[in-house]
Structure formats: structure tokens, C-alpha cells
């Protein structure tokens, strides 16, 4: 990278990119899926489900948490995670506002 130019873009562009980056690995998609399909929060069950080592899963969880996609609370020796729905709503609205307004008129563009 020589010197990351990411700062040269707008904050919104960076935010969207960061959100996307958090979801840019199948393991993290799988984690989100597990979390989304439970009413209760999960802990290490994710480790059993995913084909990854415990430390790797922990790292993915940390990244999802850093990106704000999930919330996590430490409960003694075990941790509890769940989806941060507000973050997804924010992403969804920013994502669609970027594209959806223009979709109709551009549908039959040149290429």
C-alpha cells in the first residue's frame, strides 16, 4: 500500500467500506447468520459450528464487534454476543440511498 490512501475518501465512503469489510469473510457471514437465527445470545457454540479454531473464531468476533455489527458482553468465563440491528439498519439505508434512487432510470444503461 506504500501509504494507505483510504483517508482521502469521504467519511461516508469509509464507513460503508468498513461495514462491507466486516462482512467480507464467509466465516463472519456464518457467525452473523447464527446470531441472527437465535433469540438468545450465543457464546462458544459458534466455535462448534464453524470449521475454525477457537482463537480464529474469537478474532472474527472481535472484528465484527469493532465494526459495530454485533454487541458482546462478558459474563464471567463466557461471552455473549448478538446482532446490533441498528447498525444494519444504518448500513441498509446508506447503501440503498447510494443506489436505489438511480436504479430505475439507469436500468437500461449502455453496457
Partner DNA sequence: CACATTAATCGTATATTTGCGATATAAGAT
Partner DNA sequence: ATCTTATATCGCAAATATACGATTAATGTG
* Binding site residues, DNA, CB under 7 A: 1-6, 21, 24-25, 27, 43-44, 47, 52-56, 58-63, 72, 74, 76-79
Grid cell locating 60: 472474527
76 makes contact with a copy of itself (CB under 8 A): no
90 makes contact, choosing from a copy of itself, DNA, none, with CB < 5 to 8 Å by partner type, with none
- Beta bridge partners of residue 75, listed in sequence order: 78
Asked whether 26 and 57 are in contact (CB, 8 A), the reply is: no
Place of cell 434512487: 101
Q: Identify the residue among 5, 48, 76, 78 touching a copy of itself (CB under 8 A).
A: 5
Q: Which residues contact 29 (CB under 8 A, 6 or more apart)?
A: 23
69 makes contact, choosing from DNA, a copy of itself, none, with CB < 5 to 8 Å by partner type, with none
Amino acid at each position: 500500500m506504500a501509504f494507505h490512501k483510504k483517508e482521502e475518501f469521504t467519511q461516508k465512503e469509509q464507513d460503508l467500506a468498513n461495514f462491507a469489510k466486516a462482512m467480507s469473510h464467509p466465516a463472519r457471514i456464518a457467525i452473523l447468520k447464527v446470531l441472527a437465527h437465535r433469540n438468545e445470545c450465543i457464546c462458544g457454540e459458534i466455535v462448534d459450528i464453524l470449521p475454525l479454531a477457537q482463537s480464529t473464531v474469537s478474532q472474527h468476533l472481535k472484528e465484527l464487534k469493532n465494526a459495530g455489527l454485533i454487541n458482546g458482553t462478558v459474563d464471567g468465563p463466557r461471552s455473549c454476543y448478538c446482532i446490533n440491528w441498528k447498525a444494519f439498519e444504518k448500513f441498509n439505508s446508506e447503501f440503498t440511498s447510494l443506489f436505489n434512487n438511480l436504479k430505475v432510470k439507469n436500468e437500461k444503461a449502455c453496457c
